[in-house]
Structures are given as C-alpha cells and as structure tokens.
Structure 1
Amino acid sequence: MPDMKDVSTQPLPKLEPRDRLGHKGSYGRVLLIGGSRGMAGSISLSGMAALRSGAGLVTIATPRCVQSVVASFAPAYMTVGLADNDDTFDTPATEPILELAGKADVIALGPGLGRSPAVTQLVKRLYGQVATPMVVDADGLNALAEMPAVLSKPPAPRVLTPHPGEFARLTGESVGVRPSTRSQAALQLATRDPSGQTVVVLKGAGTVVANHKQYAVNTTGNPGMATGGTGDVLTGIVAAFVAQGLEAWQAARLAVHVHGLAGDLAAEQVGQVSLIAPDLIDFLPVAFDQL
C-alpha cells in the first residue's frame, strides 16, 4: 500500500473563466448513457446537472422504450433512443453507443442503466476500449463488479463514484465510517489501476476522493442528501467539469464540494427532511456564485 497524502486542506481546483468569444462547443460534449424502464429519472437528473454545471452540449443515450420520458424532463439536452429489450439496452445498441462515444469529450455511464447480460457486455466494451474520460456510477459499477479485472486496464481516465454498497460489490469488502478507514479503502480501489488513471469518489458522510497517490475528504453536504437521485446529480457535475477541461482528479474534487454545497444551500431553504435531488440542481447556480 503506497503512502497516502491527505490534500483535504489544499485549495480547490477552479474552472477557467468563460471566454467572451466562446460557444457551446468550447465547453465540452457530454455523453450520458443510462436509463431503463422505471428508472428514466436517474439519467435525466445527470443530464440536467451537467447542463447546470456548465457543459456546452449534453446528449443522453437511453433505451428507446424510455426515450420520450427522458426527453420530457428538460428541453436543453438531446436524446438518442436505442435498441432495447423493453426494459434496458439490448445488444444491437452497443455499436451505436460506441459511435456516439467517439464524438464525446467525456462519457458518464450507469445512472438508471438496469442490469442484464447485454448491459454487462456494453459496460465492458465501453470501460475497457473507449479512450475517452469516463464517469461510472450506479449500475455501471454493478456491471464492473461482475468483471473486476477490467478495472486494471482503463485506456483513459476513469472516475468511479460508488456508495458503500456499490463499493462492497466492487471489492468484496465493507466500508467503515471512520475517515481513515474510508480513505484507505478508496485508495486501495484506485490503485487496482497501475496506470494511475482511476479516481475513486467514495460517497457518504465525508465523501472521499482518492487516486493512486492522494486523497481528500469533503466537508460540504448534510444528511438531507441521503435520498434517491443525489448521486445521479453528482455524476452529471463531474462529467461537466471534465468536459470543461479539468483533469479527472480536479473534476471529482471540485464536484463533490459543489454538490455538497448545493445540498447545504437547499437544506437552508427546504430543510433536510424535505430535500430531494432536483433541489440540488436548483441550487447549483447559488453554489457556483459562492465559489
């Protein structure tokens, strides 16, 4: 186990100021892959969060059976409906998704994706073959847990965003609540990739961001964020920051701070009990103003 460097107190990364001559292509093309019957909202939250976090163009690739639902959440992202088994992606969707991936600056994979043999093979090909930065969450992580060897060979930066349950499925080990234990666990997962391209965001109270040589413990956020969909919002924020030019480590560290800050600002207005994931998206503009 390498020495862990705690950089929690170091200054947060920053997005570059907007160029007055910039256009939507200047701020990155995000491809989000996910959604399934009954979970169309997950990938939609990621898409809305990516837009609110500054991404120039956002496209959601989703099963055809839920495309109209996903499209209905927001008019500012694009949707592509692909072959499905009346639930989630079917095998014929793989090649069109790979084609879309080749045009993106960053890919976010997993929210609401569902689980099936076809999905597992899709995740394997995307994770192991596509040389584009990628954020992986939810059922994307569950698919990776079925083939952990692929974690050691990413062709480009990867940001994994597990909650403790997903972490346990990925590693076979449970995560404690002590910051030192969580930091060590996140580092161990990150170092499965000997190339150093993997960043782990271990979510929970005091979210830990770790790569192969350092970690940071986040201090924003509150218990009101322990509700469905908040992780999907984080996925969209991370992807948007990568699209705008931040490296994977920088994007993850800044994203967890902004995500938690939006949650804190929302809780001040609606309370922790009533806080829901769309509230985070609504308060992202205020969070950015406070950075």
Structure 2
Amino acid sequence: MSTPPTGPTTTPTRDLTPSLLRGWALPDVGDSKYSRGQVLVVGGAARTPGAAQLAGLAALRVGAGHLTLAVAEQAAVPMAVATPEAGVYGLPQNPQGSVTGEGAALLEDQLGSADVVVLGPGLDDPELTADLVRAAVPLLSDDAWLVLDAYALGVLPGMREVVEPLAGRLVLTPNSSEGGRLLGRDLDDLEADVREIARTYGAVVSCQTLVADPDGRCWRTGAGQVGLATSGSGDVLAGAVAGLLARGTEPAQAVCWASHVHAAAGDRLAASVGRLGFLANELLAELPRVLVELGA
C-alpha cells in the first residue's frame, strides 16, 4: 500500500492536485467482485430512497465490487427494479415512512460481512436514526469501515460513546451546517475546525473543500464548482468514499481521492452543462472518467 505524499503533522495543508494524486496511486484491485469489496448502504426513507441509491451507485462507479442497499420497506421493490446492480433489503418503517431502529437486526449478516457500511443517506427522522446507529454499530465486523452521512451526522454528537470503538475506522462527510453540529458551534475557521472534527471523533473528515485525518494532516481540493451544492451531491461523495475504501484504499487516501474525483466530476459537468443545473445523478458517469484521467 502506498504512503501519502505528506510530511509531519505540523506541515501546512496540501493541495489535492492531479499530480499529487498520481503520485499517491490507488492500490491494484483484484479480478473478483468480492476482492473489490462489499458495500452496504443503509438509509432511504420511503420519501427519499434515491439518496441511498446515489451513494450505492457511486461506490460501484469508483470500483467497489458488490453492493447491497437497505431502504424503507415501502421503497424496497421499486429500488430493486431501479437498481438491478444491487441486492435490496426492506427495513421496518413507521407510518410516516421513516426507517426504524429495528432494521439493524434484520441486517445482522450484512452488517457483519460488509467491508464498508454507509449509514445515513436518505434517513429523515433524528430519533429513529439515532436508534438505528446504536443498533447497527455493534454488528459491524472488527475491520469494517463506517461512513456516516446526512442525519447520521446530525445525531452523532449525542452518541459519541457508540462510535468510539470505531476510532480509526470512521469517515464523516459533513456539509458546513452538519460540521457545526458536530462541534456544537458555527464553523468560523474551516481548516482548524475540520481538523478539530477529525481529532474529536477519531475520523477522516471531508467537509467542503477540505479533508483532515485524526493525525492532524489536512488536504484541500482545488477542483469543484458551485453546482455541486445540489440535492444528492453529498450522497455521491459518501458513496465514492465507500467504494474506494472497499477496494482496500487506506482511509485518508480514499477520502482525498473521492473528494477530488467528486469535485472534478463537477468541473466536467460545469463545462458541458453549465455552472448551475447539473444533477447529482449526472456526477455518477463522470466519476470513472476522472479516475481514468488520473491513471487509476
């Protein structure tokens, strides 16, 4: 496994350029879908199942080998039809269509065998999301990665003890408002604050243009367009992180590569569609094209 091209933790934030990434090559992948890793995405309330789908397809687009989606029971059959690449599980939901915490027990085998679990895309109830996180985390294997996104980030400050055993195996992908909730205050110095989130939670963090890890290293992507600030874009990023982790990429490298590739995909669409108006699902097809451009 390659080592990141960075110096001691006291070095300044590094720019995530194509040159840097080409010198920080992704690991080779095997010829089996299982050797490229298994990703489980848990989310997708009845009203918002597309978020889980976007995350799962992004994982496949960056090279993950096997995908399982777990969404609200009402959405499971339509999701299976719309996503033939994935196995789909229906999870218990309340009358409003929100996924309940009992769903984790139904996924015991999947949670225990997945290389990477993405939890949060498309969930829509904070209390039920907290129940789901509490029930799911103890079922993960000892070497699985957990990527928390969306509502799963919003409830994290009240359950830090639940994820403490995952320190070093945790990735957080907050936007700026979610980052503020993680720290209990508004973000006022993004670089310092993202580093603090990483240290506080023992996680690799991607927030806006920055990536930080618990050791104090920090990187900044120079790519990206304002058009990335659109519904579903964050789900694509979370899925891309999961897909690269599933391939065996070390954590900071996976998040750096995913953050740059996601942003560069936005650049490509800004050139072909416009700075505003491209859709999150259009990012998916651009992800492998950016990887090819980087020699991955």
TM-score in same-fold range (> 0.5): yes
2:105–2:135 contact (8 Å) kept in structure 1: no
2:15–2:222 contact (8 Å) kept in structure 1: no
Structure 1 runs (4+) greater than 4 angstroms displaced: none
Partner of 2:191: 183
Tell me which amino acid in the other structure corresponds to 1:107: V
Equivalent in 262, 270, 273 of residue 259 of structure 1: 262
Quote how far apart the aligned CAs of 1:253 are.
0.6
Quote how far apart the aligned CAs of 1:159 are.
0.3
2:36–2:64 contact (8 Å) kept in structure 1: yes
How many residues were matched structurally?
Answer: 279
Quote how far apart the aligned CAs of 1:211 are.
2.8
- Alignment of 1:43 with 2:48, yes or no, is no
- Of 267-276 and 2-11, deviating more is 2-11
Let me know the Cα RMSD of the aligned residues.
2.1
Task: Give the Cα separation in 1 of the matches to 2:199 and 2:137.
Answer: 16
Tell me which amino acid in the other structure corresponds to 1:269: S
Tell me which amino acid in the other structure corresponds to 2:103: A
Quote how far apart the aligned CAs of 1:119 are.
2.4
Per the alignment, in what secondary structure is the counterpart of residue 135 of structure 1? strand
Task: Give the Cα separation in 2 of the matches to 1:199 and 1:44.
Answer: 23
2:120–2:129 contact (8 Å) kept in structure 1: no
Consecutive unaligned residues of structure 2, counting only runs of 5 or more, are 1-7
Equivalent in 167, 174, 180 of residue 179 of structure 2: 167
Equivalent in 131, 134, 140 of residue 152 of structure 2: 140
Per the alignment, in what secondary structure is the counterpart of residue 25 of structure 1? coil
- Alignment of 1:229 with 2:232, yes or no, is yes
Task: Give the Cα separation in 1 of the matches to 2:181 and 2:240.
Answer: 24
- Alignment of 1:30 with 2:50, yes or no, is no
Quote how far apart the aligned CAs of 1:128 are.
5.9
- Alignment of 1:199 with 2:204, yes or no, is yes
Equivalent in 239, 248, 253 of residue 250 of structure 1: 253
Partner of 1:268: 271
Per the alignment, in what secondary structure is the counterpart of residue 118 of structure 2? strand
Equivalent in 50, 56, 60 of residue 65 of structure 2: 56
Quote how far apart the aligned CAs of 1:143 are.
2.1
Task: Give the Cα separation in 1 of the matches to 2:240 and 2:212.
Answer: 14
Change (3 A) 1:189 1:249: same
1:244-283 CA-to-partner distances (Å, cap 9, x unmatched) read 0011111101100111111111111111122110111121
Quote how far apart the aligned CAs of 1:3 are.
6.0
Task: Give the Cα separation in 2 of the matches to 1:36 and 1:152.
Answer: 26
1:127-186 CA-to-partner distances (Å, cap 9, x unmatched) read 46633211110011112133244454426510001001111122111113xxxx211101
- Of 226-235 and 5-14, deviating more is 5-14
Task: Give the Cα separation in 1 of the matches to 2:110 and 2:187.
Answer: 36
Task: Give the Cα separation in 2 of the matches to 1:155 and 1:98.
Answer: 21
Partner of 1:211: 214
Equivalent in 61, 66, 70 of residue 75 of structure 2: 66
Quote how far apart the aligned CAs of 1:7 are.
4.9
- Alignment of 1:8 with 2:14, yes or no, is yes
Per the alignment, in what secondary structure is the counterpart of residue 46 of structure 2? coil
Change (3 A) 1:287 1:129: same
Tell me which amino acid in the other structure corresponds to 1:32: V
Consecutive unaligned residues of structure 1, counting only runs of 5 or more, are none
Task: Give the Cα separation in 1 of the matches to 2:29 and 2:215.
Answer: 31
Of all paired residues, the percent bearing the same amino acid is 32
Task: Give the Cα separation in 2 of the matches to 1:129 and 1:213.
Answer: 29
1:151–1:192 contact (8 Å) kept in structure 2: no
1:115–1:143 contact (8 Å) kept in structure 2: no
Quote how far apart the aligned CAs of 1:9 are.
4.1
Equivalent in 154, 163, 173 of residue 166 of structure 2: 154
Quote how far apart the aligned CAs of 1:116 are.
4.5
Tell me which amino acid in the other structure corresponds to 1:282: A
Task: Give the Cα separation in 1 of the matches to 2:190 and 2:288.
Answer: 30
